[in-house]
Amino acid sequence: MPLITFDGHQYDCHQGETILECLTRHGLLVASGCQSGVCQTCITKAVKGRPTADSQKGLKDTQVAQNYFLTCVCKPEEDMELAVADLSKGSMAATVVEKQLLNESVLRLRLKCEHEFDYVAGQFVNVKHPETGLVRSYSLASLPSDEALELHIKRVPDGRMSGYLHDETSVGDALSIDGPAGECFYTIKDLDQPLLMVAVGTGLAPLYGIVRDALKHGHRGEIHLFHASLAIPGLYYSDEMNALADQYEKVHYTPCVLHGDAPDGGKQGDIQQLVKSAIPDLSGWRVYVCGDPAIVNGLKQTCFLAGASMADIYSDPFVF
Ligand SMILES: Cc1cc2nc3c(=O)[nH]c(=O)nc-3n(C[C@H](O)[C@H](O)[C@H](O)COP(=O)(O)OP(=O)(O)OC[C@H]3O[C@@H](n4cnc5c(N)ncnc54)[C@H](O)[C@@H]3O)c2cc1C
Ligand code: FES
């Protein structure tokens, strides 16, 4: 049973337990968000012992070299001693400059950072609750050249952070954010490669950034963007997406709903089936899938089986 040394105390870590679970079981409050190795809130440095390879996935080479790792996915294989990383170094204040509902449950927040914020379209930021310290990730719908950061926040029933952002923030308030993080973004590896983008709900946020980023880089291949929702009221940004499709012949936008009538210019049915019948052969395509984790994982599998290479499938599952 590996021993974890933290802040001068030793804690036994059960077989199969992550370091985050071990410390929480012993009553310690450790910062965490997604608890699945995505948001990087729980990043910590090992001062003794080697972190598992899994727990360093997605970290920068420089962080790996310094023994940083994610406690929420690290099941230690040997005794380890930890130092809590100083995350406050990466946090900054961002002022709410616009707050607007995009449909009945999705809020658009625009934020201005106190300092320059360097990111790539499609990455996400971690927002910290000012009173409880709760951290949640939200994808960036903006481009770095835009004046403000743009977030699309879906109201989740009884959701602590989404409820707070919908109901308790106002224009002029300062939020604490850190990041950016995430590997789901456009890269200029092949300007002629056809791109498939599938957004589920607020999964449109990163893809709205990525599609505009691809166009800005002069992407020449066809770009098909599907936006999936349960029903028409869950869709948003149809005007913005139709405007892009009007402006660029290579951009094709298909709003999709599971229930009820098909939206204008869109389709009704299961999103996996709709994508499969629209583009049966994805050999040579690059695929981006963002939003609800269960649907994202199913779509990734569908796209792989339709011929897309795993290395060409990028995704941001909104794990919760
Ligand atoms: C990389 C990443 C990017 C993300 N980007 C976005 C984004 O751009 N926009 C966005 O709206 N969200 C996004 N999320 C999800 C977001 O981080 C939160 O999980 C979400 O807002 C719920 O947090 P909460 O504190 O309001 O709910 P909590 O208080 O954590 O949860 C309340 C209850 O709702 C359930 N629940 C939580 N989330 C959902 C959900 N999505 N659907 C159904 N039930 C749920 C929980 O299991 C719990 O029972 C992203 C997540 C990740 C990991
Ligand atoms: S809590 Fe560990 S990466 Fe999100």
Q: Helix, strand or coil for residue 241?
A: helix
Atom of ligand 1 at shortest range from CA of 205: 8
**Could you list the pLDDT tens digit for every one of the 320 residues in the chain?**
899 999 889 999 999 999 999 999 998 877 788 888 988 888 889 999 999 999 999 887 778 888 999 999 999 999 999 986 544 446 899 999 999 999 999 999 999 998 889 999 999 999 999 888 888 999 999 999 999 999 999 999 999 999 999 999 999 999 999 888 888 899 998 999 999 999 999 999 999 999 999 999 999 999 999 999 999 999 999 999 999 999 999 999 999 999 999 999 999 999 999 999 999 999 999 999 999 988 999 999 999 999 999 889 998 878 76
CA-CA distance, 260 to 196, in Å (whole number)? 25
| pLDDT score recorded for residue 88 | 44
Q: Helix, strand or coil for residue 243?
A: helix
Of 122, 151, 152, which Cα lies nearest the Cα of 315?
A: 122
- Hey, what CATH topology would domain 88-181 get? Elongation Factor Tu (Ef-tu); domain 3 (2.40.30)
What pTM value is reported for the model? Answer: 0.87
| pLDDT score recorded for residue 15 | 93
Q: Is the CB of 181 under 6 A from ligand 2?
A: no
Q: Is the CB of 198 under 6 A from ligand 2?
A: no
- Hey, what CATH topology would domain 195-317 get? Rossmann fold (3.40.50)
CA-CA distance, 156 to 166, in Å (whole number)? 10
Q: Report which protein residue has its CA nearest ligand 1's atom 14.
A: 318
Ligand 1 pocket, mutate which of 104, 125, 152, 156 (most atoms under 8 A from CB): 156
What number does CATH give the domain 3-85? 3.10.20.30
CA-CA distance, 1 to 75, in Å (whole number)? 11
Ligand 1 shell residues, CB under 6 Å: 34, 38-39, 124, 136-139, 152-154, 156, 158-163, 182, 202, 205, 316, 318-320
**E strand map for the chain:** 3-6, 9-12, 43-48, 68-70, 80-84, 91-101, 106-113, 124-128, 135-139, 149-154, 174-181, 195-200, 223-229, 251-257, 267-268, 286-291, 313-317
Q: Where do we find the tokens 């499969």? A: 276
CA-CA distance, 76 to 294, in Å (whole number)? 28
| pLDDT score recorded for residue 228 | 97
Q: Which ligand has an atom closest to residue 127 CA?
A: 1
Q: Do 71 and 20 meet the contact criterion of CB atoms below 8 Å apart?
A: yes
Q: Which ligand has an atom closest to residue 236 CA?
A: 1
Amino acid at 254: T
Distance 87 CA to ligand 2 centre (A): 13
Query: What are the boundaries of each domain within the chain?
Result: 3-85, 88-181, 195-317
Q: Is the CB of 34 under 6 A from ligand 2?
A: yes
Distance 119 CA to ligand 2 centre (A): 19
Of 43, 46, 50, 48, which Cα lies nearest the Cα of 20?
A: 43
Q: Is the CB of 179 under 6 A from ligand 2?
A: no
Q: Report which protein residue has its CA nearest ligand 1's atom 30.
A: 159
Q: Report which protein residue has its CA nearest ligand 1's atom 24.
A: 159
Ligand 1 pocket, mutate which of 151, 318, 319 (most atoms under 8 A from CB): 318
Ligand 2 pocket, mutate which of 35, 87, 125 (most atoms under 8 A from CB): 35
